[in-house]
Amino acid sequence: MKDTLKRLFGSVLALVVLFSTSYLSVVTVYADTNSYYIDSQNGSDNNTGKSADNAWKTFTNVNAATFLPGDKILLKRGNVFSGTLYPKGSGTAANPIIIGAYGTGSLPVINGNGARFNPLTNNRVDAAAYLANVSHLFIENLEVTNEIPDTLSHGVPYDFSSTDDRSGIHVDATAAGTYTGITIRNCVVHHVSSDGNDVDHARMAGINVWARSWNASFTNVLIENTRFIPPAVLPSTSTLKNTRARQRGLLSKTTTYTTSAVTVS
């Protein structure tokens, strides 16, 4: 039996089905304190990021920072962001870290451009939004996709024979411990590419709550008012490769999933 089945304390939840609840585009207004703004059209990574008029442009500064309880990372509506959002730091129950949207218009889009776990390089960042070893963090009001580009940036066609993990949103644990208080709400997930390999390291999911580390687990994970637009995972199959998770029909809080640590409402 593969090692992945021996990780008794890991939590796996791969969600790739259509959520039936009508999606509501919610405009959230935040106070400026501890808020960081990202504007892919008019921002600059040389800005402070502390106001909409001095927004960052890419995820470079966000991914290099460790955020504190109560901090907010806000993506401008109507913008498309390329690459992986990978913030560090945990909030508290009273003051979670919030990743959300600001402005008006359509949801901000994060395009992971086929981000994947590659066993040859051991790069574990395999999602458009990657959250590792964090607690008390909310991610809301985002659209997420992680489709393989036809040609990589260096001009070489993509190698579909590779065996990779890939998700839209991945809540991961790479260090031992219990991580809690993760909420994903008011999001849209679609077009997460699958390599279609029925082997180890070929796990594909729209949302993946999975602890890679031994002796790591999750509690109090909530996924609500989030929908998956078919095809959520490409190609769409009834059984995800090597995850022991299936398309389970309509997402609801009464559905039984592979871990009781995750609630879907």
Question: What is the rounded distance in angstroms from the CA atom of residue 144 to the CA atom of residue 129?
Answer: 8
Q: Tell me the pLDDT tens digit for each residue of 106-144.
A: 999 998 776 666 656 566 666 888 888 999 999 999 998
Bridge partners of residue 208, in order along the sequence: 14, 170
Question: What is the rounded distance in angstroms from the CA atom of residue 242 to the CA atom of residue 198?
Answer: 7
CB distance 134 to 88 below 8 Å: yes
Distances 230 to 57, 80, 86 between C-alpha atoms, Å: 30, 20, 25
Low-confidence ranges of the chain (pLDDT < 70): 1-33, 114-126, 148-164, 166, 192-206, 210, 229-265
pTM as predicted: 0.72
